[in-house]
Amino acid sequence: MADANSISPLNKARASGVTDEASKAKLQKATKDFESLLVGYMLKGMRGTVQKSGMEKDDFGGDMMESMFDMQFAQYISNNSNLGLGQMLYKQLTGEDLPKGAAHRSYALPPVTAPTADKITKTGTAQPQIPPASVQKRVESYSDTIQAASQKYGVDANLIKAVMASESGGKPFAQSSKNAKGLMQLVDSTASNMGVKNVWNPQQNIFGGAKYLKELIDKFQGNLQNAVASYNAGPAAVEKQKGVPAIKETKEYVTRVMNYLQGYKQQELYNNDDN
Residue 239 appears among annotated catalytic residues: no
- Check 35, 66, 96, 167 and give the catalytic one: 167
The C-alpha atoms of residue 21 and residue 16 are separated, in whole angstroms, by: 14
Taking Cα atoms as reference points, which of 82, 61, 60, 63 lies closest to residue 71?
A: 63
The values of phi and psi at residue 110, to 5°, are: -75, 160
Got the DSSP string for the chain?
Answer: ---GGGS-HHHHHHHH---SHHHHHHHHHHHHHHHHHHHHHHHHHHHHTSPPPTT----HHHHHHHHHHHHHHHHHHHHHS--SHHHHHHHHHHSSPPPHHHHT---PPPP--PPPHHHHHHH------PPPHHHHHHHHTTHHHHHHHHHHHT--HHHHHHHHHHHTTT-TT-B-TT--BTTTTB-HHHHHHTT-S-TTSHHHHHHHHHHHHHHHHHHTTT-HHHHHHHHHH-HHHHHHHTSS-S-HHHHHHHHHHHHHHHHHHHHHHHHHHH-
- What sign does the CA torsion over 151, 64, 223, 183 have? positive
Residue positions annotated with a catalytic role: 167
